[in-house]
Amino acid sequence: MNPDAYLVLSGIIFSIGTLGVLLRRNAIVAFMSVELMLNAANLAFVTGARVWGNLDGQTAAFFVMVVAAAEVVIGLAIILTIFRTRNSASVDEASLLRW
C-alpha cells in the first residue's frame, strides 16, 4: 500500500489537533490537542521508518513518546498550579502578559 496515505492521515490529525489548540478554551483539552499533534508526528515517523527500511524513525517516535510523557507531567502540574491560584482552567483567563 502507498505510504503517502499514512502521511495524509497524519497531516489531517495534526491539523485537527491544531484546531483544538486554537478553539478550545479549556487548558486540559488544549493540552490533549497538543498530544494529538505529537501522535500525528509519530505516525509520520513510523511511516518514514517503513519507507526507508530502517528503524531510526521508530526510535525517533520512541523519543517523542518519552518527551511527551515528561511534558504531560510538567504541563498538567502547571495547569493544576494555575487552577489552584486562579480557580479556573481557562487559557484565556491567564492573559496578564498583555499591553
The verdict on 23 binding other proteins (CB under 8 A) reads yes
Helix ranges (DSSP H) in the chain: 4-23, 27-52, 56-86
Decide: 83 and 31 in contact? Cβ < 8 Å: no
Q: Does 26 bind other proteins (CB under 8 A)?
A: yes
With contact defined as beta carbons under 8 Å apart, do 37 and 67 qualify?
A: no
Report the C-alpha gap between 99 and 30 in whole angstroms. 24
* Residues within window 53-82 making contact with other proteins, judged by CB under 8 A: 53-56, 58-59, 61-63, 65-74, 76-81
Number of residues that bind other proteins (CB under 8 A): 83
Q: How far is the CB of 37 from other proteins (least distance, A)?
A: 10
Quick check: 41 binds other proteins (CB under 8 A)?
no
